[in-house]
Amino acid sequence: MLLEFLNSKIHRATVTDSNLNYVGSITIDEDIKGIAGDAFEGSCVEEVIVKSKSISIGPKAFCESDLKKISFKHKNAVKFIGHGAFKKTDLVKFDCMSFDVEVEIGIFASCRVLEEVAWPARTLPERTFIHCSQLRNLDIRNI
């Protein structure tokens, strides 16, 4: 198996395990303020846990990755989500308790297994859910 890791820079990361056979999750520490565009594009990462109290997710940050789950430990943590950030991922559910998030177009485009979104979004830009054929529950009221 060949894994490409120098897709982008991960600054001030702490390595907590060195199991070469582990494919799975990444925890974004409280000190991290942003996930760069293309940071995990095409990666094998399946779960991301965001502990940061204020985070920006760059364009195509997880595009075409194996991402199935992303969780945010703090309410109002997300400040920005760039275009195509989760495009063509395996996300099934997106639960984000952040108000006033700046969102660019097509953040969930072609997420063919996305079933549920709970997010108190005030606006959703064009093509947010284009080709999300399994989307069954969209809860965007002020929670």
* pLDDT for res 100: 83
* pLDDT for res 126: 92
pTM: predicted TM-score of the whole model, two decimal places: 0.83
Above 50 in pLDDT, residue 96?
yes
Once rounded to an integer, what is the mean pLDDT over residues 76-91?
Answer: 95
Above 80 in pLDDT, residue 9?
no
pLDDT tier, 10 (very low <50, low <70, confident <90, very high otherwise): low
Sign of CA dihedral 51, 63, 126, 70: negative
Read off the pLDDT of residues 19-56 as tens digits, 9 standing for 90 and up: 656 667 888 989 899 999 999 999 889 999 999 999 99
Above 80 in pLDDT, residue 16?
no
Q: What is the mean pLDDT of the chain?
A: 86
CA angle 135, 38, 85 (to 5 degrees): 25
- Burial (0-12, 13-18, 19+ Cβ within 10 Å), 16: exposed
pLDDT tier, 11 (very low <50, low <70, confident <90, very high otherwise): low
| 5 or 103, greater pLDDT | 103
Sign of CA dihedral 142, 73, 91, 88: positive
